Amino acid sequence: MASTVASHASAVHDDLLRPDVAKIMSSDKIRNRRRESRTAAVNGGLVRNSSESSIESSGRATPIPSDAPPSAKSISHARQQLRASNKARIFPTVRYAPRVSHFDPRSEHRDFKGFFVLFWIGLAIMVITTGLRNIKDTGLPLRVRPWQLFTVKAWQLGLSDFAMVASTGLVVPMQKLFRSSTGPLAWRNYGMSIHILFQTLWFALWINWPFMLRWTWTAQVFLTLHTIVFLMKMHSYAFYNGHLGTTEWRLTSLNDPDSASKHAAVRYPRTPLSPSKPSKEKSQEEKPDDDPIATLRDDLAVELTSPFGRVTYPENLTYYNFLDYMFCPTLCYELEYPRTDKFRPMEFFWKALAVFGCVFLMTIISEEYIVPVLTESALRLKFVPGLSDRALIIAETISNLLFPFMITFLLVFLVIFEYVLGAFAEITCFADRHFYADWWNSCDWLEFSREWNIPVHNFLRRHIYSASLPYMPRAWSMALTFIVSALLHELIMGCITKKLRGYGFVAMMLQGPIVMLQRSPLLRGKKLLNNICFWCSMVLGLSLECALYVLV
């Protein structure tokens, strides 16, 4: 879409000269031009032609043959005079032409990496300034108290996290059991219900586990987020393989077409790389008689094969395949994924180092610029009885948290979608690194939800929205998807603050009316205004939620 807009803009504004790095002259060419200019100035600005020479020069190594027509010689002589007159200027001139700025949407420049470097330099300045202030106040560059949160019962966190991840491996023998069963335990009968019951009990256990052991909030948030991730992974693995098991059973039953079901194959949501259309065209070419049984067999066989054609169900029902999927930076299970050629150790090292760096920065921002503001505001609220005074304190707290939360939000984005997922993609040679799109240009919350977190968006669309469409209208399916997402966000906020207030849930559900307002005829098409509204609501919403959860 961006390329289309750029091409359209370039077509409309062809009279504009845009910067072209490839046309920049080398230093040798510049020196030659200056030398020619000085020579032309000494000779009076004209290049004299020798009558004895059989070839005339254009001044740019473009020789004119002696037998050239008079018109060609006249053009060459005119070009020489014009170039010589330009070089002979005493005062240096500036070349002006119709050109656009780098930030102009019509510009061909798209590299703003320098601002990314400036962002990190700004954070480094913040760390240095904070360290100097702490040395002045306490004698140490860093406060000791926040770092102790990461070490309290760390061994319990490590063992519990390992047990949680290992327990997800139970879905592999369960899927083998569902596939081999032809009775009540088959996926199409009660297998799905059995897995949903197991999944619910598993999730309830690990969500309550940190509270039973009385961990710090950092450990609780880590295990809760990890549990939610592996819940989605386990759900996708079980439901996709359950679907494939039912598909295999249908394909096998077609060996006896008289007793088999002949209704059309309902395809599970597939990846964009799925060769469904080519395979359909091929089946039509091979079967001109359009045999419905043969067509159904082909559709079911294609469904059991990976998009790249190298893995067929049930070859994937192995612990190695499941372990590989657990490490892959995706929440949607597929029989096969695109892979890179090799593992790059240095790339993994820098991304892993960046993870620790971002966590370090987020801890400093939280301890120096967020926690003190909330602590002071909570203390002031205890001694202020009036409602207006309390509202003023909360408003002041929100304003003081705007900038720290904006920086924290950007760091959370970087650490998750650029560094953590990038590191796991490097470990598994996972080639699809499209974990986010240009969400910073979002004009409404619906667009942001699609582009900010593509792995979660794919999961919700595949396993919530698409799975519920056969049973309810499209609007209800979308509402259900928002409800599930809002409940997960509310759970995370409850683990951080140990309060279930519903502020996050309400804020998430308000996105629907806000999207309807932004897409109304009054605001539709006003991208800049809608983007400003998006960013204002994003920055204000983060601080508002934090203040409400902690202070109210």
DSSP 41-64: HHTTT--PPPTT-SSEE-SSS-EE
Report, as ranges of residue numbers, the positions in the chain whose pLDDT lies below 50.
Answer: 1-27, 30, 37-38, 40-61, 268-289
Output the pLDDT for position 252: 86
DSSP string, 363-382: HHHIIIIIHHHHHHHHHHHT
- Assess whether 489 carries a catalytic annotation: yes
pTM, 2 dp = 0.75
Q: Which of 77, 109, 226, 489 is catalytic?
A: 489
**CA 147, 151, 157: angle at the middle one, nearest 5?**
135
Q: Is 81 in a helix, a strand, or coil?
A: helix
276, 267 contact by CB (below 8 A): yes
Phi-psi group of 473: left, alpha or beta (phi > 0 → left; psi -120 to 50 → alpha; rest → beta): beta
Q: How far apart are the C-alpha atoms of 374 and 404, rounded to whole Å? A: 12
329, 425 contact by CB (below 8 A): yes
Q: What tokens were used for 16?
A: 């504009």
Lookup result for tokens 């309290």: 152
Output the pLDDT for position 459: 92
Output the pLDDT for position 456: 92
Lookup result for tokens 């070089």: 87
Q: How far apart are the C-alpha atoms of 448 and 294, rounded to whole Å? A: 44
Lookup result for tokens 């360290």: 131
Give, for 63, the enclosing helix (H) or strand (E). Answer: strand 63-64
Output the pLDDT for position 3: 44
Q: At what angle do helices 527-551 and 387-413 cross, to 10 degrees?
A: 120
Q: How far apart are the C-alpha atoms of 139 and 478, rounded to whole Å? A: 55
Q: From residue 25, how far is each of 30, 34, 36, 63, 109 by CA, in Å?
A: 7, 13, 15, 22, 18
